[in-house]
Amino acid sequence: MNIYAKVVVHFAALLALTLADCASANTLSIDYFTIATNDPDVNHLGGGTVNNEVQNVLGPHGLPILNTPAFGCASNCFSLTPFPSDVTAGGEITWWSPALNSHVNHTGSATVTLPFDVSSNFFPPNGTGASDANGFQAAILSGTLTVPSTEVVSFSIGADDSAFAYLDGQVVCDLGGVHPVSAGSCITPFNIGAGNHEIKVFFADLNAVQSGLTFNVTTEGVSTNPVPEPRLVAILGAGLLVGVLWVRRKVHRHPDGIH
């Protein structure tokens, strides 16, 4: 193996080991958002716990779609009024999108361990605040379920207020409405095939007083891994380039090779 190949193999191994370390079992990425106190949906939505607020699939922007007749629902439609008004023309709920909702700000990212359990005082900024006086907490948990072989998997979710979980873009937990911390409705345990499966959990606190989110995945042999940090991949890639350039310089100075 020539010296260039050795350097590439070395840095590729380093990249794989570093990513494996960062994407340890039972962890997910979390993106934090703050919904402004003057958002039209805050302290305005109808109270109650429902299991049909969102449709079965995510919308084109990767956001939950409101499950009402206006957006194509024909049966078992969400009916808790008043409906959310922070929606796109296609019905996607925008509590997690600064690009689509001027009352929403992205405030940070981190890695969290499952089970995720912040059942109270989940306030801005980034779940560290003491109240919702300066905004309302929203968040997206995301990552990959790595399944070595077919397994039975189940999900559990609870929130004050709304929380929706999706597996490969299909809803598996639907906890809508405005309410105290309550358990959500999740699809009963089912078989999940071998491979990598995308998971996303959307949470939003929409009413004053309290805020909380709990979420877990229960199975055997399945690991949950966060989305790789883009900056880390870029840094290691730059390291690989520097290593190759350094070898090129050495070989140029010593045509017979490095000794």
20 pLDDT more than 80: no
192-223 confidence digits (pLDDT tens): 999 999 999 999 999 999 999 999 999 878 88
The residue among 218, 247, 249 whose CA lies nearest residue 7 is 247
How far apart, in whole angstroms, are the C-alpha atoms of residue 127 and residue 175?
Answer: 20
pLDDT band at 40 (very low <50, low <70, confident <90, very high): very high
pLDDT at residue 18, rounded to an integer: 41
- CATH 2.60.120 is held by the domain 26-227: yes
Tens-digit pLDDT profile for residues 104-143: 999 999 999 999 999 999 999 999 999 999 999 999 999 9
The domain spans of the chain are 1-23+229-259, 26-227
Please list, in sequence order, all residues whose beta carbon lies within 8 angstroms of the beta carbon of residue 119, skipping any fewer than 6 positions away: 158, 181, 212, 213, 214
Q: Tens of pLDDT along 42-100?
A: 999 989 999 999 999 999 999 999 999 999 999 999 999 999 999 999 999 999 999 99
Q: ∠ at Cα 140 (135, 142), nearest 5°?
A: 160
For 145-159, the pLDDT digits (tens) are 999 999 999 999 999
Strands 195-204 and 212-218: unpaired
